[in-house]
Structure 1
Amino acid sequence: MLDQITELFMQYGIWGLFGMAFLDSFISPIPPFFMQIAMSLLDPGSALRFATVAFTASILGAPIGFLLGKWLGKPLLHKLLPEKWVVVATEKFAKNGDAAVLIGAFTPIPFKVFTVLSGVFNYSLTKLMLFAIVGRGLKFFLIGTLFYLYGKHAKVLLDEYLEVSLLAAAALVAVGWFIWNKRRKRYA
Structure 2
Amino acid sequence: MLRSLYTRLQRLSARDDAVWWMSAISFAESSFFPLPPDVMLVPMCLEKPKKLWFYTNICALASLLGGLLGYALGFYLFESVGRMIIDFYNAQESFQHFQEMFAEFGPWFLILKGVTPIPYKLLTITAGFAHLDLTVFILCSIVARFSRFYMIAILLHFYGPQVQEIIEKRLMLVATVLLVVVVGGLLSFKFV
Determine if the TM-score, normalized by the shorter chain, exceeds 0.5. yes
Question: Could you list the per-position Cα deviations for residues 39-90 of structure 1 after superposition, in whole angstroms to 9, with x for gaps in the alignment?
Answer: 112222221111011011111122111110112225776xx9xxxxx99975
- 2:26 maps to 21
Unaligned runs of 5+ in 1: 81-85, 184-188
* CA distance, structure 2, for counterparts of residue 107 and residue 48 of structure 1: 20
- 2:50 maps to 45
CA contact (8 A) 2:98 2:126 kept: no
Give yes or no for the alignment of 1:2 onto 2:5: yes
Match of 1:31 among 15, 31, 36: 36
Give yes or no for the alignment of 1:121 onto 2:126: no
Length, aligned pairs only: 175
How far is the alpha carbon of 1:153 from its aligned partner? Answer: 3.4
How far is the alpha carbon of 1:30 from its aligned partner? Answer: 0.9
Please give the TM-score of this superposition, normalised by the length of structure 2: 0.75
SS at match of 1:14: helix
Please give the TM-score of this superposition, normalised by the length of structure 1: 0.77
Question: Could you list the per-position Cα deviations for residues 70-124 of structure 1 after superposition, in whole angstroms to 9, with x for gaps in the alignment?
Answer: 12225776xx9xxxxx999756523323222102210000111111101111111
- 1:112 maps to 121
* CA distance, structure 2, for counterparts of residue 95 and residue 9 of structure 1: 41
CA contact (8 A) 1:94 1:123 kept: no
CA contact (8 A) 1:70 1:119 kept: yes
Partner amino acid, structure 1, of 2:71: F
* CA distance, structure 1, for counterparts of residue 168 and residue 62 of structure 2: 25
When Rg is computed on C-alpha atoms for both structures, the one with the higher figure is 1
CA contact (8 A) 1:23 1:61 kept: yes
- 1:166 maps to 175
How far is the alpha carbon of 1:35 from its aligned partner? Answer: 1.3
* CA distance, structure 2, for counterparts of residue 110 and residue 94 of structure 1: 19
Identity of matched residues, %:
26
Give yes or no for the alignment of 1:72 onto 2:81: no
SS at match of 2:31: coil
SS at match of 1:169: helix
How far is the alpha carbon of 1:26 from its aligned partner? Answer: 0.8
CA contact (8 A) 1:99 1:174 kept: no
CA contact (8 A) 1:9 1:20 kept: no
RMSD over aligned Cα, in angstroms?
3.2
Give yes or no for the alignment of 1:54 onto 2:63: no
